[in-house]
Structure 1
Amino acid sequence: MFNYPKKKLALSITLAISSVTMFPALAEENDQQIEEVVVKASPILDSQKAALEAKKQATNFVDIIAADTIGRFPDQNLADSLGRVPGVAIERDQGQARYINFRGAPFKYSPIAIDGVVIPGAENGRVARFDSFPSVITSRLIANKTITPNMPGDAVAGFINIETHDPFKFDGFAFNADLGFGQQDLGEGDIEKTALKASYSNENWGAMIYTSKNSREQITDNREYDWLSENQLGGVEFRSYEITREDEAFGGKLEYRFNKGSGRVFVSLLESEFNDHELRNQFVFDIQGGMEQFGQNAPTGTDNYVPLALVERWLQDGDYKSATSTKTLGFEYNLKGWLLEGRVSITDTENLTHIPLLRGVGGAGAFAYDLTDLEDPQAELFEVNSTTPLALSSLNYAANVVLNAKSEMDIEATQIKFDVTKDMNLFGLNSEIKFGFNSDSREADGYGFYMDFSDASLYGFMATGINPNDYDTGVAWDSDFTHGVGGTYYDNVALRNDWEAQVGDLGNIDIPAGDLIIIDETVTAVYAMATSYFDWGNLVYGARIEQTDYTSEGPTGTFEDDYINVLPSLHVNYDLGQDKKLRWSVTTGVSRPNYGEWRATTSVIPISSTISAGNPELDAEKTIGTDISYEWYIGDASMFSAAAFYRSIDNVIYVSSSNVDGGAFDPSLSGSTWSYTQSVNGKDGNLSGAEVNFIAYASDFLDVMDGFGFSMNYTMLDSEFTTLTGEKYSLPGTSDTIYNASVFYEAHGFSARLNYQYRDDWFSTTENASEPEYWSGQKRADLALSYALPSDIYGAEVSFYFNANNLTDAVDTRYVGTAATPNQVERYGKRYMAGVRINY
């Protein structure tokens, strides 16, 4: 699928222009856009104005991304957009933004909501993935860094609210389209983007509908190491992934507004789905295992030859899928000065991973390697105990075995919100009071990563007469590494299809009771808060009370528990002048275990001699913290801000590991040593940081530099917690340093922006303190260009864009212990896209 000829971007643009001329004049000429900010010539400037004005008026510490930042300069997904916010760092999967570390915190400390409705994480109930939500739905992103009582209590580091578009933004009919085509540099994979949005409104009725589809083909080139010591390599893996990632979304909103602005009722829908189809070709070279045949250990040093290495071949045709469906019915009504707001939302999330692996074992060859450059290891394969070159494709394997891995999680959530707001005199002060109720009930049913490890004959493989060698295409891997071992692609799709035609669906796996996750959870909250206004600013104060009830079912019974958390907060917003603000707050929060941690079951994983136990008795993490910030708004669209924060965290959840006798869990395993892992509560956690943000538009300082500008933010972070054995680690996701810088120019319809992001090393979110894995620091540069035609075409504004991503050709590296012993090095290349946007 990656042998297609290259897309001709010029041809793609020509086709897009042609599509514009096909639009009939459906209404009177209307040069308005379906965006939060109406712009024609300066999308960067005008969107930043809107964002800064909203930030200035907010009663808490917040950063905002206005619609045009996403619409005019479209990012791959919403995580890429948030990556420009001070203190926010992106964690990517094979180059694609998937999660964010908000102020250096673990993912689950920052829940995600759409129009205020919290979205459960499809994988574990807590962490929603940003690559599951399209930018087409987004009017603006609100990144709350301090939390008020009307926000969920588990927003320890922050609360991210995705506001969707308002169908009443424009009168009559409006339409927006975004069509893009591109190419991934490594493997020449195709990239396609389609986003369509239409709305209609009159005096009382408003309707909006949208759809989007994104597809990306890429090669991910991977090398993985198995170290015996810092200077002794036990084995190395060469992997090449052929990946097709697709996300689709459909949704809309229907709204009726009462006369005289007294209220509204609405219904909204969002259906989104993400599918990662992954073909893996992998070869494992076991140096230590080969040398043990001679009664020796693997040699030390960076440049070696061994007369025998054991070789394995792994072939995979697998899928990673997730889907979210959210349906909301809501109303707002002003009853004699009392604003009543209600929401009922039903959200279903599905997550499914299935990666059947055919593993050829018992191959052998002599092996030479050079690790002088750990980001580009050199290797050659020879016939056993010789220097006669040996083709990797000619290796024979003594046996085939199957590793059929699967995980699944379905979550049904029902949320009910009711809020009341009233302006009144409170304690002699003009004030706004707000109080409300929220119920979030969830039913989770699934299982973690179950691995069925069997001889291939048990799957009927040997009986079919299928020979994996027959599926070797002979096509050499696309690679950014020096290609040493001569890997070739296998037709894994045909191999799996022929196999399943003989033996049936490989996904029909009997999941042991010890792997199941069955959890019911209800969080019921009430809150009350007030905003009182003074000559010098305002004071926001109040409290939220949350009751948590949950049950976790297991083979030996059901565990039940409930507890109450009282979460007060205080926010002071002091006006130092017309354009200067000082903010200070004290907040509290609670972070509950995810569903994999909370399960009342124990998994036995033979392939890794591991026993993984849930812990339904885990305590929730409790936090208290303070923030202080200074903001100076300069001119029309420039600002300087500085902030610092601290969070104290009790009961930090992490994964503990110890060695046990397998006989304690299965009599047949008696006498063997197994690794026992379980989530437990640590102590003495803290998270702190300081950030500086400067946005400068030249016209605010020098008229002669009109059109130029830049932004820069710099964040310093620190975190720590203590394990039960007294060891100290940083929290997962904390980089010591994060900074972002952008320079831009826009004038006469032309816009250009170059953005650079950097974060240094951070503790991986595996959260296993016994095997501390870290990501090495990352540097990434992206370029975005656009040009708006000076005249409308059939009443539609038309603009063209070109994006170039990962210009630094980033290499993702992970390591255990120190950077001198990386366990994974991964490349995926640059990405280019050109397209057209139409706004009618």
Structure 2
Amino acid sequence: MKLRLLVGAAFLPLAFAMTAQAADTAPSAAVEPAGDGLFGRVVNASGSPLPGAEIIVRGSGRRAVSNTQGEFSLPGLSGDVTLDVRYIGLPDASQLVSVSPGRPSQVTVTLGGDDVTTVADVVVTGVITDGVARSLNQQKNADGTVNILSADAIGRYPDPNVAESLQRVQGVAIQRDQGEGRYINVRGAPAAFTAVSVDGVAVPAVSPTTRAVDLDTLPSDIVSTVEVSKTLTPAQDADSIAGAVDIKTRSPFDKRRLAVSGYAGGSYNDYGGSDTRAGATISNVFGPDQSFGALLSLSYSETNRRPDNVENAWVYDKDAGRYLIEETLFKDYETQRTRQALTGALEWRPSEGLRAWLRGSYAEFEDDEYRDTLRFGYADGKIQPGATDRAATFTGARIYKALRHRTQNNQITTLSTGLERTFDNGAVWDAALSWARSEQTYPHRDELVFRSDSQTLSYDTTDHYRPTYSAFADASGFYRNPAKYSFRENTFRSNDTEQEDVSFKTNFELPTVIAGREVTLKFGGKYSTRDVVADEERFRHRSSDKPAPLDPGTMASLLSDQLSRNYDYNLGFKLNHDLVSDYLARAAVAGSKSAAARRMPQSLTADYTANEDILSGYGQARFDVGATNVLVGLRIEKTDFEGSALNVPNTGAPVKITVDRDQTDFFPNLTLRHSFSDQLIGRFALTRAISRPDYTDVVPRILETRETEDTGGGSKIRTLISRGNPDLKPTLSNNVDLGLEYYLRPLGVISANAFYKDLSDYRFTLVTNGAPYAPSPTGVADITESLNAPDGRLMGIELNWQQTFDFLPGWASGFGVFANYTLTDAEIKTGRSFAGRDTFTLPGQSDTTYNLALFYERAGLSARVSYTHRSDYLEAINAERPGLDLWVEGRGQLDFTASYDFGNGVEVFGEAKNLTDTAGVRYYGVKERTYEYEKFGYNVFMGVRFKY
């Protein structure tokens, strides 16, 4: 219903804009901008718009900055005025403009023409340097601390999705899945501390367990620019403690003509599989005075991978005082990942003072995965004497051989419509209605499992990256003998999560004079409502169940003739994917998905619904004190939350519980930007931000299960509780930012930015053993829930150096460098002691991250070699034992890209990714307790681009 309302309202701004335009002009009059003042564009010699150009009115010091289409406005001017225009990478320009009273004037300022006469006026050209110039100019003239990636810059790295593109930004690191970036950590903060929007529309997460947005769903080639705001203004939503990411798609007014571009190519991966990628964009302007614009952009990619993966699940044996592996899992993947995206825009600009738009985007990510596994189940057996923290032998252990077929589908859709009106007095009003929907679906996660008879198994992890396992050393190869196995179980799991967000926002900006000083006042409000529905079903049918499941036959009858290998381990023959898929389909129809097979209570406790309404308003004032730009303001956000989930006891019927709560938060803001000179900029900001709890942590779900433990002298019932915490508070952060930026001629920057975030009520997950719990037969239970830590901090410094070496002679002048380094330190204080600890680092926080790239661009040739690295970071805390904290090992990656432009709109390019063949590693406590070791190999991609 929300979508229908939005579609019905989509053309209201267009209708309103047409009415407003008709009121401003007589029916026979030519279309002209309304009101006094000056409207203009800044372009380069080829007519392309220059965003971030600084326009200063000589004498008065009035200042404007061009937007992404190179447009600017200076209302209230009259008479002859001289504009001084500055743009890093191009020579400065001055232009005399005559502005008639009562009638607006239009001007186009062209930079980098034929009048370049000095070394300082060298015109920077080339795809890489042009993208750098666009980014640096917008960053330099922004009010707060902002990092911007342009489409040209993104296209010069082998980054297929937005997450991987952002790893090039200082202070941004990524979390990977099978080698591909998925989540981002900005300035060492957890991924959920960063909000993501597309064209200003807030994007809900696709996952039911986190607010962090899966950025691997969004392909990088739909992007015009990516803007990372590390300090917020009052006009921005406050839910970004680390930084807000806004992904801007293309506009038909970027080119203001018929423009067609595209690319296509394919790749090779040394671990098997291939990539295919293609994309195209077409746009044009038309109608009276070319006031209408339309754009359509398409993207498609298909990635096939076969990574090698081994996992060891470690536990601590309290009785023996040692660490043991309870199971080892060898995974043999065959995955196909597809991404497809569509963006579109309709815009109407009848005058420089009036514009309306309708924009939309759709992105879909599908991961179709077959996983053959061989699992050594040591925990099924009994440990033998002589075990150490590195080696152990078990009798009565079991071996499991399985095939799992899993399909994951993510979809993110955004739609927005709005208008912007500039009035005679220079006031600007805008309004926008938006809708966003995210969905994650697992249509099936189905698995067939066979289990061996009892075996004696041992392991030795002295070489923790290449452990030895007794089964592979056995000359008989018993683990490969299908006669040793019998049917164990089949499992079925599906889930669907939908998040839908509708919002309306409006802003009013008014230039005025207060106490003799020019001040720009800005006010606005926003209302958003988000609905979340999560549903999961699990079914399992074991060989011992009554009624018996459909018989799959012997394992031998389902084996293929394909050998399964993982690193140097021979895992035997793979299960036949077609035969097993056929069996699982028949097993489901035959009754595996019956009431008797449904896994209870797991099928219920992942289900929840939530509604979150946020009403916000703000006011801010922007004015100049000499060379200092001052922005001061206040934002207020009122959050109303309602959530429902099930209390599922060990016995008895589930009970639905609903909770609701509301909270009002205040976010004061002071942002200063000081120009020590045209090239040296200082920044200072005092801000406040919020991170609301993940829905699954705050809804009132309760899962109670019971286990029977063998104590040696009998048995004991153990009650396990997993529950949400409706009293969980949002995390608030008071932030201090300080920066200094020196912009180099003709193109470059050296900068340092320091930050400090004072955190309150940081959320962490706690397992409390033996906590009082009356319904338990023993009166106690092991309870898992999220709690608030009273105090925490996150601090660090970002160093950045970008420069073109134009001062070098001849061919060497084509070289340039990108380098950034971020150092962070963080801790949270829980207010209680766990295994002698009450202070922890932040999950996702690496002490150091850095990027280094050397590029060359000259005579149509562009090339870049880049290295990115992040140090170890904590993924999950084990409150009972530090030795079982889960860490991700630091990782570096070397990439290379090169292209040649023939000068006729055609360009060939090549990419090489992960040339270091760096593995992905996770470990418990110390690196010797390796949990996961995964390699995905290097990738070489070749293709062609075209543009018109």
Query: TM-score over 0.5 for the alignment?
Result: yes
Alignment of 1:137-176 (within 5 A): 137-176=222-261
Percent of aligned pairs sharing the same letter: 26
Q: Which residue of 1 aligns with 2:507?
A: 419
Q: 1:470 to 1:432 in 2, by over 3 A?
A: farther
2:478–2:484 CA contact under 8 A, matched in 1: no
Q: Is the Cα–Cα contact under 8 Å of residues 31 and 839 in structure 1 kept in the other structure?
A: no
SS state at 2:824 partner: strand
Work out whether 1:335 is the aligned partner of 2:423.
Answer: yes
1:309 and 1:489 map into 2 onto residues whose CA distance is: 22
Distance 1:461 1:330, change over 3 A: farther
Cα distance in 2 for residues equivalent to 1:507 and 1:567: 51
Cα distance in 2, alignment partners of residues 634 and 837 from structure 1:
31
Assess, with a 3 A threshold, how the Cα gap between structure 1 residues 577 and 328 changes in structure 2: closer, same or farther. same
Match of 2:894 in 1: 781
What is aligned with 2:109?
Answer: none
In structure 1, give the amino acid aligned to 2:164.
D
Map 1:110-125 → 2, pairs under 5 A: 110-124=194-208
Match of 1:575 in 2: 675
Alignment counterpart, residue 620 of structure 1, candidates 730, 745, 749: 730
Match of 1:497 among 582, 589, 595: 582
The root-mean-square deviation of aligned C-alpha atoms, in Å, is 2.9
Q: Which residue of 1 aligns with 2:702?
A: 602
Q: Which amino acid aligns with 2:405?
A: D
Q: Which residue of 1 aligns with 2:184?
A: 100
Q: Secondary structure at the match of 1:820?
A: coil
Q: Given the superposition, is the C-alpha separation of residues 506 and 544 from structure 1 closer, same or farther in structure 2, using an over 3 Å criterion? A: farther
Per-residue CA distance 1:84-127 (angstroms, 9 max, x = gap): 11111111111001111000001111101111111111114621
What amino acid is aligned across from residue 348 of structure 1 in structure 2? R
2:495 to 407, 431, 436: 407
1:271 to 330, 343, 362: 362
Cα 1:716–1:493 shift into 2, 3 Å: farther
Q: In the alignment, is the contact (CA less than 8 A) between 1:40 and 1:749 conserved in 2?
A: no
Q: Equivalent residue of 2:428, what SS?
A: strand
Match of 2:629 among 515, 532, 538: 538
Tell me the distance in 2 between the aligned counterparts of 1:273 and 1:618: 33
Partner secondary structure for residue 382 of structure 2? helix
Alignment CA distance shift 1:75-1:716 (3 Å): same
How many residue pairs align between the two structures? 792
**2 CA distance for matches of 1:363 and 1:832?**
45
How far is 1:232 from its partner?
4.4
Asked if the contact 2:659–2:699 (Cα under 8 Å) also holds between the matched residues in 1, the reply is no
TM-score, structure 2 length as denominator? Answer: 0.79
Q: What is the match of residue 784 of structure 2?
A: 677
CA contact (8 A) 2:565 2:571 kept: no
Name the structure 2 match of 1:349.
438
Report the secondary structure of 1:500's partner residue.
helix
Q: Distance in 1 between matches of 2:753 and 2:149?
A: 18
Partner of 2:338: 246
CA deviation string 1:315-367 (max 9, x = no partner): 20011221111111111111222211111111111112342232323444343
- Asked if 2 retains the 8 angstrom alpha-carbon contact of 1:687 and 1:717, the reply is yes
The letter of the residue matching 1:577 is S
Q: SS at 2:927's partner residue? A: coil
Match of 1:721 among 808, 820, 828: 828
Q: Does 1:222 align with 2:309?
A: yes
Could you tell me how far apart the structure 2 residues matched to 1:661 and 1:297 are?
A: 34
The whole-number CA distance in structure 1 between the counterparts of 2:863 and 2:545 is 59
Distance 2:274 2:489 in 1: 34
Q: Which residue of 2 aligns with 1:55?
A: 139
1:309 aligns with one of 351, 374, 397: 397
Report which structure shows greater RCO (CA 8 Å, sep ≥6).
Answer: 1
**Residues 1:467 and 1:692: Cα distance change in structure 2 (over 3 Å):** same
Q: Which amino acid aligns with 1:746?
A: E
Match for 1:355: what amino acid?
Answer: R
Aligned residue for 2:233, secondary structure, equals coil
- CA displacement at 1:744 relative to structure 2: 0.9
Q: Which runs of 5+ in 2 are unaligned?
A: 1-44, 51-67, 71-122, 317-321, 646-654, 708-717
Q: Structure 1 CA distance, aligned partners of 2:578 and 2:780?
A: 38
* 1:172 Cα offset (Å): 2.9
User: Larger Cα Rg: Structure 1 or Structure 2?
Assistant: 2
Matches within 5 A, 1:572-721: 572-604=672-704, 611-660=721-770, 670=777, 675-700=782-807, 705-721=812-828
Q: What is the CA–CA distance in structure 2 between the aligned matches of 1:66 and 1:329, rounded to whole Å?
A: 24
SS of 1:213's equivalent?
strand
Q: For residue 606 of structure 1, report the CA deviation from its aligned partner.
A: 7.6
Structure 1 residue 477 displacement after superposition: 2.7
**How far off its partner does 1:671 sit?**
6.1
Counterpart CA distance in 2 for 1:535 and 1:52 is 23
Matching residue's letter, 2:785: Q
Q: Retained in 2: the 8 A contact 1:242–1:278?
A: yes
**Residues 477-510 of structure 1, C-alpha deviations (whole Å, 9 max, x = no match):** 354x222x43432233531233213432978968
Looking at structure 1, the residues matched to 781 and 934 of structure 2 have their Cα atoms a distance apart, in angstroms, of 30
- Output the CA distance in 2 between the equivalents of 1:574 and 1:647: 22
**What corresponds to 1:740 in structure 2?**
851
**Structure-2 separation of matches of 1:216 and 1:838:** 22
Displacement after TM superposition at 1:707 (Å): 0.6
Shift, 1:445, TM fit: 0.8
Q: Give distance in 2, aligned partners of 1:94 and 1:460.
A: 39
Unaligned runs of 5+ in 1: 1-29
Confirm or deny that 1:808 pairs with 2:916: yes
1:255 is matched with 347
Correspondence list, 1:410-449, <5 A: 410-447=498-535
- 1:80 and 2:164 equivalent? yes
- AA at the equivalent of 1:333: R
The residue that corresponds to 1:5 in the other structure is none
Give the aligned residue type for 2:886.
Answer: E
**CA 397–749 in structure 1, closer or farther in 2 if over 3 Å, else same:** same
Q: 1:672 and 1:41 mapped to 2: Cα distance?
A: 74
3-state SS of paired residue (1:706): helix
Structure 1 residue 816: deviation in Å? 2.0
User: Could you say if the C-alpha distance between residues 199 and 375 of structure 1 is closer, same or farther in structure 2, counting changes exceeding 3 Å?
Assistant: same
> Which one-letter code corresponds to 2:401 in the other structure?
R
Classify 1:561/1:303 alpha carbon distance in 2 versus 1 (closer, same or farther; 3 Å): closer
Q: Is the 8 A contact 2:448 2:584 kept in 1?
A: no
Say whether residues 1:482 and 2:568 are aligned partners.
yes
CA contact (8 A) 2:667 2:688 kept: yes
Aligned to 1:317, the other structure's residue is in SS state: strand
Deviations, residues 589-630 of structure 1 (Å, cap 9, x unaligned): 111101111211123578998532111221111110101011
Aligned to 2:106: none
Paired AA for residue 820 in structure 1: E
Asked whether the 8 Å contact 2:774–2:780 carries over to 1, the reply is no
The answer on 1:376 being equivalent to 2:483 is: no
CA contact (8 A) 1:758 1:778 kept: yes
Which whole-Å CA distance do the structure 2 matches of 1:185 and 1:606 have between them?
Answer: 47
> 1:372 Cα deviation (Å)?
3.3
Partner of 1:547: 638
Question: When the two structures are superposed, what TM-score results if normalisation uses the length of structure 1?
Answer: 0.89
Q: Say whether the 8 Å CA contact 1:420–1:435 is kept in structure 2.
A: yes
Paired residues of 1:364 and 1:395 also in contact (CA < 8 A): no
Q: Quick one: which amino acid aligns to residue 752 of structure 1?
A: A
- Cα deviation for residue 289 of structure 1 reads 3.7
